[in-house]
C-alpha cells in the first residue's frame, strides 16, 4: 500500500489525520473565545489570583486527559471517549453519556453559530444574522462531509490564526514592558501584577465564581480524543497530544494573562471588553477591535467546525452501540465511501439549523440561553463518568501497566473526580449558573426514570415469556 493512502478501519472510516493535524486540533480545542473574550471578566473579579485559577483547572484537565489518553492508548479504535463509558460503566450509562454529550455539542454549536452571525455583522451590518449563520453552517457541514483530512487541514489553519494572535499579544506586551511604555492607564511594568496583591481582592465568593467560568473556557480540550480514531499512528500521537496539553495551557493561557496584567492594571480591565483589544489599543493599534473580531470569529468557526465533526462521530457511536438495531440506528451507523459518518453529520447539522431560526425570533433567545447553560453543565457530568470509567478500566483485563498510564493514579484519580464534583456543586451557589445546574439534574433524573421504566418493561416481557413457556409444557 502507498504511504499516501490512509489506513482504513474495520468500520470503513479512514485514518487520514496526521500528527500535525491532531496537535493543532488539540491547541484549537484548548484555546477559544473564553480566552479572547471571557478573560476580562475573570481578571476583573479575581485580579492576579486568576493565574492560580487557570493553573489549578489546567492541572485537573490535564489529569482528565491522561485518564482518557490511557484508555485510548489501550484501545485506539474507538471514535469517541464516550465509548469507554459504555464499555466500562455499562451500555445504558454509555447511552446516557452519548446522548448528553451529543446534545451538548449541538446546543453549543448553535451558540457558536449565533456568535458568528454577530461577529460577521461587525463588517456587514446590513446582512441579516440568520443568513450569515445559514451560509457558515452549510459550508462547514459540507467540509465535514468531504474527508477527515480536509477537516484536519481547516482546523490546522484556524488554530494557527489563534496562535499568531496570542504570540502577537505576548511579543507586544513584553516589548511594551521592557520599554516601560506609557499608556493612558499608566506605565507598562511588571509591578502592575502586584497592585492590591491579595488572595481574594473582591472577596472569596468572587474568587470561587471564577472556577466555573474558567472551567467552561477549557471545555473542548477533550476534542483530541475524538480525532484519534481517524489518526495515523494513534499511540504515538496520543502521547504527544496529551502530554503537551499542560505546556499549551501554561504557554497560551498563563503567559497571555501575565502579559495582559503587566500592560493593563487588573483593576482597570473592563469586564465587558476583550482584554486583547484593550492591550492592542494601548499599543497604538487603531484597528485592534477589527483584528480581534477576526480572531474571535476564527475561534468560533473553529469551535463550530470541531463540534460538527464530533457530533457526527458521537451519533455514529450511539448508533453502533444501540441495543437492538432499528432502522434509525442502522441509518446513522452507515459510513460513506470516503470514510465519513455522513448521516450523523447531516442530522446534527439539521438540528443546528435551529440557530438561524432563533435569530429570526428574538423572544426565543432567553430560553436558548438557559438550554445552552444546561448543556454546558452536563459536560461536567460526562467528564465525571469518563473518570469513573477509567477506574473501571484499571480493574479490567484491558489494563496495560506498560502503556500510557495516568501519573500517581491512586491519588490523582479520586482527587480529579472530587474536584469535578465540587465544580458542579459550586454551580448551585452561583446565581447565573443555578438554572443550568438544576436543568442538568432534571435531565439526569429524566434518563434514570426512562431507564427504570424500560427495565421494568423488559422484566414484564420476560415474565410473560416465562409464563407462556410453562403453559406450553
Tens-place pLDDT, residues 210-254: 888 888 778 878 877 777 766 777 888 888 878 887 777 777 888
Compute the distance between CA of residue 181 and CA of residue 398 in angstroms, rounded to an integer.
58
CATH code for the structural domain at 17-430: 1.20.1740.10
DSSP 364: G
- pLDDT at residue number 453: 85
Indicate the domain borders of the chain: 17-430
Model pLDDT, residue 138: 93
CB–CB of 340/312 below 8 Å?
Answer: yes
- Helix/strand/coil for 14: strand
Distance from C-alpha of 262 to C-alpha of 141, rounded to nearest angstrom = 41
Where do we find the cell 436543568? 439
Q: State the pLDDT at residue 406.
A: 94
Question: Are the CB atoms for 143 and 302 separated by under 8 Å?
Answer: no
Taking phi first (over 0 means left), then psi (-120 to 50 degrees means alpha), and beta for anything else, what does residue 90 get?
left
Match 479512514 to its residue by C-alpha cell.
14
Position with higher pLDDT, 19 vs 251: 251
**Predicted pLDDT at 355:** 80
- For the record, the C-alpha cell of 216 comes out as 467552561
Distance CA(256)–CA(227), nearest Å, equals 27
> The dihedral of CA 157, 159, 162, 166: what is its sign?
negative
Residue 202 burial by Cβ neighbours in a 10 Å radius (0-12, 13-18, 19+): middle
Distance CA 305, CA 299 (A): 10
* Residue 263 pLDDT greater than 50, yes or no: yes
Rounded to 5 degrees, what are φ and ψ at 182?
A: -85, 135
Report how far residue 95's alpha carbon sits from residue 188's, in angstroms, rounded to the nearest whole number.
53
401 pLDDT higher than 80: yes
Q: Where is average pLDDT lowest: 30-34, 52-56, 179-183, 329-333? A: 30-34
- How high is the mean pLDDT of the chain? 82
Q: Is 470 helix (H, G, I), strand (E, B) or coil?
A: helix
Segment 127-138 shows an average pLDDT of 90
Instruction: Choose the weakest-confidence range: 10-24, 73-87, 150-164, 372-386.
Output: 10-24
Residue 415 in this model has a pLDDT that exceeds 90: yes
Phi, psi of 441 (to 5 degrees): -65, -40
Whole-number Å distance between alpha carbons of 26 and 156:
10
Amino acid at each position: 500500500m502507498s504511504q499516501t493512502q490512509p489506513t482504513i478501519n474495520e468500520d470503513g472510516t479512514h485514518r487520514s489525520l496526521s500528527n500535525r493535524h491532531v496537535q493543532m486540533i488539540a491547541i484549537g480545542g484548548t484555546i477559544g473565545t473564553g480566552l479572547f473574550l471571557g478573560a476580562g471578566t475573570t481578571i476583573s473579579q479575581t485580579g492576579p489570583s486568576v493565574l492560580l485559577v487557570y493553573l489549578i483547572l489546567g492541572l485537573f484537565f490535564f489529569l482528565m486527559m491522561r485518564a482518557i489518553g490511557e484508555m485510548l492508548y489501550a484501545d485506539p479504535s474507538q471514535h469517541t471517549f464516550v465509548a469507554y463509558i459504555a464499555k466500562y460503566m455499562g451500555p445504558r450509562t454509555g447511552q446516557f453519556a452519548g446522548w448528553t454529550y451529543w446534545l451538548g455539542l449541538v446546543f453549543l454549536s448553535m451558540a457558536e453559530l449565533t456568535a458568528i452571525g454577530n461577529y460577521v455583522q461587525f463588517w456587514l451590518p446590513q446582512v441579516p444574522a440568520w443568513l450569515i449563520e445559514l451560509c457558515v453552517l452549510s459550508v462547514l457541514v459540507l467540509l465535514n462531509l468531504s474527508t477527515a483530512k480536509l477537516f484536519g487541514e481547516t482546523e490546522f489553519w484556524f488554530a494557527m490564526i489563534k496562535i499568531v494572535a496570542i504570540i502577537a499579544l505576548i511579543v507586544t506586551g513584553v516589548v511594551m514592558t521592557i520599554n516601560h511604555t506609557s499608556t493612558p492607564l499608566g506605565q507598562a511594568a511588571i509591578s502592575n501584577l502586584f497592585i492590591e496583591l491579595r488572595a481574594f481582592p473582591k472577596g472569596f465568593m468572587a474568587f470561587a465564581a471564577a472556577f466555573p467560568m474558567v472551567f467552561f473556557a477549557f471545555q473542548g480540550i477533550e476534542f483530541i480524543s475524538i480525532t484519534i480514531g481517524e489518526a495515523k499512528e494513534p499511540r504515538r500521537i496520543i502521547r504527544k497530544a496529551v502530554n503537551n496539553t499542560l505546556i499549551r495551557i501554561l504557554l497560551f493561557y498563563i503567559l497571555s494573562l501575565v502579559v495582559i496584567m503587566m500592560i493593563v492594571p487588573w483593576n482597570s480591565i473592563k469586564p465587558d471588553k476583550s482584554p486583547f483589544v484593550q492591550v492592542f489599543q494601548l499599543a497604538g493599534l487603531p484597528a485592534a477591535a477589527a483584528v480581534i473580531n477576526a480572531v474571535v470569529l476564527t475561534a468560533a468557526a473553529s469551535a463550530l467546525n470541531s463540534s460538527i465533526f464530533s457530533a457526527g462521530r458521537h451519533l455514529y457511536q450511539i448508533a453502533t452501540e444501540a441495543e437492538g438495531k432499528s432502522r434509525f440506528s442502522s441509518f446513522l451507523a452507515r459510513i460513506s465511501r470516503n470514510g465519513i459518518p455522513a448521516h450523523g453529520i447531516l442530522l446534527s447539522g439539521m438540528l443546528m439549523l435551529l440557530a438561524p431560526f432563533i435569530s429570526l425570533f428574538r423572544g426565543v433567545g432567553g430560553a436558548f440561553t438557559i438550554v445552552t447553560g444546561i448543556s454546558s453543565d452536563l459536560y461536567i457530568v460526562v467528564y465525571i463518568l469518563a473518570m469513573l470509567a477509567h477506574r473501571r478500566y484499571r480493574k479490567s483485563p484491558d489494563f496495560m501497566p506498560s502503556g500510557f498510564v495516568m501519573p500517581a493514579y491512586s491519588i490523582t484519580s479520586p482527587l480529579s473526580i472530587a474536584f469535578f464534583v465540587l465544580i458542579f456543586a459550586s454551580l448551585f451557589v452561583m446565581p447565573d449558573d443555578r438554572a443550568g445546574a438544576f436543568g442538568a439534574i432534571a435531565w439526569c433524573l429524566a434518563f434514570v426514570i426512562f431507564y427504570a421504566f424500560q427495565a421494568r418493561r423488559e422484566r414484564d416481557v420476560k415474565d410473560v415469556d416465562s409464563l407462556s413457556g410453562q403453559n406450553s409444557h
